[in-house]
Amino acid sequence: MQFIAITGGVISGLGKGTITSSLSHLLVNSGLKISAVKIDPYLNFDAGTMNPYQHGEVFVLDDGSEVDLDLGNYERFIDVNLTGNNNITTGKIYKNVIEKERKGEYLGSTVQIIPHITNEIKQWLRGVSKKSGADVVLIEVGGTAGDIESMPFLEALREMKRDGDHILFGHVTLVPEIGPSLEQKTKPTQHSVSALRSIGIQPDMIFARLKGNLSLDARKKISLFTDVPEEGIISVSDVKNPYLLPEIMRQQGVLDYIFTKMNLSGLQFKDKWEEFRRNITHPKSSVRIGIVGKYIDLTDAYISHREAFIHVTGKHGIEVDLEWINSDNLKMDKSQLSNLDGILVPGGFGYRGVEGKIEAVRYAREHNVPYLGICLGFQTAVIEFARNVLGLENANSTEFDPSTKNPVIALLPEQLEVTNLGGTMRLGSYPVVLEKNSIAGKLYGGTEAAERHRHRYEVNPAYIERFEKAGMHFSGKDREGIRMEILELRDRENFIATQYHSEFKSRPLNPSRVHEFLVLKALEKTGGTK
C-alpha cells in the first residue's frame, strides 16, 4: 500500500485541498489508479448539518454521503466517483470505537486514544486503499500541525510509516513576503516543520505557499532547516485558476521526485487538459451570469457552481463573469438584474432570502433572460409560476408556510410517515427519466440521466395538471413518475430548472449539461458567437 499524506502548517486555508487534488491529477494522468481521503478533525459525523458560512458548500456523493467540499475537488481533478469512506471525521472514528466497545470487542480493555482510536484510523485508511484498488491513496489532513483535534490522525499516520506502510509526507506552509523588498521569510516554515517533527513526522516534501515564486535563497534555507532536499520543495504561487496548478507543479519536477521516492518507474504523464487550460486562460467571448443566493458573503458555499462554469469555459472558451447577488435584498431592488445575460438561482434551506429568489425567477421569466434553477431554484420557479401565472393566492412551499392555501411544494404522503427528519431527505444519485424531444432530452442526448440530489420537499402532484395546461412542462421525472425533476417553459427555449444538483457531477472535460445550456443561451442573448 502506498500513501501520500498532505499536512498543513502555520495557518489554515493555504490550499491543501487544491494541492492534494493537483497531485492526484498528475498521478492519475501518469497511468496510476488514485484515490483520495479527506480527514476532517471536527466532531461532527459529517458535513450535512454544518452552516455554509462556517464550512462552505456541503458536497454530495453518489452514495448520498454529505461530505467536505474538498471531495468535490478530488472528483473534479481525477474524474472519479468517491464514497463516504473517503471522508473521515473524528465523529465517525469515535462512533465506530464506542460501538465496538459496547459490543465488547475490546475484551474489557481500557479504551484509549492510543491504540484504539489510532488503530481505527489506520484500519479505515488501509480499508479505503484495499477497496478502491488504488496504487496510491492521497490523504489530506485538515487543520494545522499542533492542533489538538488533528493529533490522533497525525499519530496514526506516524504509526503507519512505522508499521511498514509506504507513506510520503508533504507539508504545506506559508512563506510570507515582508517589507518593501518583499523578502521571503522562511521562519514560519521552520517552526511548522519543527512542530511536525516533534510528533515524529519528517516531511518528504514542502509545498511553499506564497504570492510569487520561491527564491533560490529561500529554497536553500528551507532545505537546510527542514532536511527536505531542494528538489522536494515545490513553490506554490497564487494562480488565477486552480486548474493551472498541476502544470505549474509538474514543471518543478514534483512527479519525478515522487516516482523516485516511491520506486515507481516506466510512468509518463499525458496532458489531457492542454486545450482546457488554453480556453480558460484565453477565452474568446464572455457572458455575465448572476448567482442569486443568500450565502454570497462566502462564495465557497456555491463552489461547485463556480467550478461548473469554469468547466464550460474550458470546453467553449466562453468566460463567465459571475455577479454575486444577495437574495435577501433583491425583493426591494431588482436593478442588479438588469445588466445580466443569465440568472442562476441555486439551492438552499430555510425561508430567508426565498422571496428574493422568487423575484429573480419572475424577472427572468418576464424579461426573457436565460434562467437556470437548481434545487430551491427549481422550487422557487414553481412557486413564482403558481403565483403570477396561475394566480394562486399565497402559493408557497409547506417548508416556508405550513398553513399555505396553495401548497405547490410539499412533502409527499410517504414522507409524512417518516418520524426522523433526516429520513425524509433525498440524498445521492438517482435516475431521471427524460422526455426525448424536450430541452432536457436534447441536452443529455438520451432518455435517462443519473444525477445527485439533496432536498426534502417535492412538487405537489395535485397541482401538476394545472401547471402543464398553463405552459410549465415537467420534462424530467423519477422512474415512478411521482417526483418532478426538470421543468421548462413551453413558450421559450432559454428557461430550465432541475430539482437535482447537476453541479456535483460537473467535470473539467464534461461540464454540467444545464450550466452549459445557461452559458450558451446567455451568449445568444448578447448576440455573440463562440
Active site amino acids: 375, 501, 503
Whether the Cβ atoms of residue 57 and residue 69 lie closer than 8 Å to each other: yes
Whether the Cβ atoms of residue 378 and residue 476 lie closer than 8 Å to each other: no
Q: What are phi and psi of 313, to 5 degrees?
A: -60, -45
DSSP string, 55-82: H---EE-TT--EE-THHHHHHHHHT---
- Cα separation, 164 vs 180, in Å, equals 48
- Cα separation, 278 vs 369, in Å, equals 29
* Upper half-sphere CA count for residue 334 (Cβ side, 13 Å): 14
- Whose cell is 480558460? That residue is 280
Residues 6+ apart with CB under 8 A from 459: 379, 382, 408, 409, 467, 474, 483, 484, 499
Whether the Cβ atoms of residue 5 and residue 128 lie closer than 8 Å to each other: no
Query: Counting beta carbons within 10 angstroms of the beta carbon of residue 335, is it exposed (0 to 12), middle (13 to 18) or buried (19 or more)?
Result: exposed
Cell (9 digits) for 467: 401547471
